[in-house]
Amino acid sequence: MDLLLVACQVLLGVVFAVSAFTKLRSGAAVRSFAASLTMLPDGFRLPAAGAVAAGEAVAAILMPIPEAGLALSAILLAGFTLVIMVSIRKGVRAPCRCFGFSATPLGGVHLVRNALLLLVVALGGAGLIYSGGPPAAAGLAVAVPAGLAGAIVLIAFDDIAGLFTETSGSV
């Protein structure tokens, strides 16, 4: 279970680090993310964007402390999932700026991605509960790349899902 915990920590740490970085990499990126928060009044968008990106950065930083990193990840992901559900229910077609660069409107794909991320949090929690101590170096050589691979898949989830879903205007 130690290797499962490490893989989950790596996956979540990378996902949150990339998400925070893509939002904070430039003033234009921050403003773009803030503008996508259409459910909020104009005056709250920029502070909310900063708070979200800061929360993601803190989650990535705390990931080596699994109790804190997993707990913050669960809180953030539950909040993000709730916002997506409300957005879908209200018919708000704001673009998902989860990783800063996607123009895909919030939708079911994002709920699936967040459900998968919440599953990773739960698996990490199980790994933490049943942890037997630090894993061997050979095990880390498997767990770390597995976590990285999972992170890449989830970061590119919009694009991957787009390969299998019909888009409007297509032939």
Three-state DSSP at 65 gives coil
The candidate with the shortest Cα–Cα distance to 67, out of 134, 128, 130, is 128
Confidence at residue 169, expressed as pLDDT on a 0 to 100 scale: 47
Instruction: Grade residue 167 by pLDDT with cuts at 50, 70 and 90.
Output: low
Angle, CA of 92, 168 and 49, to the nearest 5°: 35
Does residue 171 carry a pLDDT above 60? Answer: no
pLDDT in tens, 27-58: 888 888 888 888 889 999 999 999 999 999 99
Residue by residue, DSSP assigns 127-143 as: HHHT--SSPPHHHHHHH
Residue by residue, DSSP assigns 98-124 as: TTSS--PBSSHHHHHHHHHHHHHHHHH
